[in-house]
Amino acid sequence: MTTTSRDLGFVHRFVAGSAAAPTLLLLHGTGGNETDLLSLGQELYPGAALLSPRGRVLERGMPRFFRRLAEGVFDQEDLARRTDELVGFIRDAAVEYRVDPTRVVAVGYSNGANIAASVLLRQPIALAGAVLFHPMVPFEPEQRPDMRDARIFISAGKSDPMVPQRLTQRLIELLQDGGARVAVHWEPGGHELVAGEVAAARLWLQEAFTQQGAGS
Ligand code: MLT
């Protein structure tokens, strides 16, 4: 079953999945939409339910999940508000589509990875974990969030012109300081999403989120 809806505050798509699998919350990059990552979600975890919202901010017509003032410089007030909105969406969608709210795993690319990281740092309870493709540090939290239950996969490009390696390292540190278990994958290239990191994320997801005794 695929549902397309404007309800719950976000234009979004929902694809039903098997109860044994987690639900993947798909978060696109700048200029993407709610359809872009559906095939990636299917590839990453066949049989998972897919929940895919469209970012509500428009930057010169391109959807994003929060405002930025310049490349890599984020509007922190807007980020905080949009992060809370997304957490509300996750909670409401779990009720609407009857998915287990404790088994929602974000899969974000670029701007989508940044809002997923922001959810983890602000309201970690909202996610069981995340796959972050090419994230930055969304903000420096004032208090250390408790992320002991979170499992996170980060993938980054060693020559990413938008995300210097030190920013990836800083995000890893912030997540680990909060107790999250973090797996890191480096690609030699830049900001683009490539097959090697998708394959690594797929393996990691299967290992981290397949329930014991759930069959396949
Ligand atoms: C993007 O273009 O999406 C940036 O690299 C990341 C962001 O602005 O959140």
State in Å: Cα 18 to ligand 1 middle: 32
Question: Mean pLDDT across the stretch 103-116?
Answer: 98
How many Cβ atoms are within 10 Å of 41's Cβ, its own excluded? Answer: 22
Please calculate the CA angle 33-10-199 and round it to the nearest 5 degrees: 45
Residues with CB under 6 A from ligand 1: 29-30, 68, 110-111, 114, 162
Question: Mean pLDDT across the stretch 81-104?
Answer: 97
**Closest-CA residue to 40 (of 131, 117, 168, 128):** 131
Is 205's pLDDT higher than 80?
yes
Residues 6+ apart with CB under 8 A from 191: 110, 134, 157, 160, 161, 162, 163
Output the residue whose Cα is nearest ligand 1's atom 1.
111
State in Å: Cα 199 to ligand 1 middle: 23
Is 216's pLDDT higher than 60?
no
Is 211's pLDDT higher than 90?
no
Mean residue pLDDT across the chain = 95
Is 210's pLDDT higher than 80?
yes
Rounded Cα–Cα distance for residues 140 and 52 (Å)? 27
Q: What is the CATH T-level fold of the domain 2-214, as seen in this structure?
A: Rossmann fold (3.40.50)
> Which atom of ligand 1 lies at the shortest distance from residue 65's CA?
9
Please calculate the CA angle 104-106-112 and round it to the nearest 5 degrees: 150
CA 104 to chain centre: 10
- Active-site residues: which are they? 110, 160, 191
pLDDT at 215: 45
**What pLDDT digit, counting tens, does each position of 131-180 carry?**
999 999 999 999 989 999 999 999 999 999 999 999 999 999 999 999 99
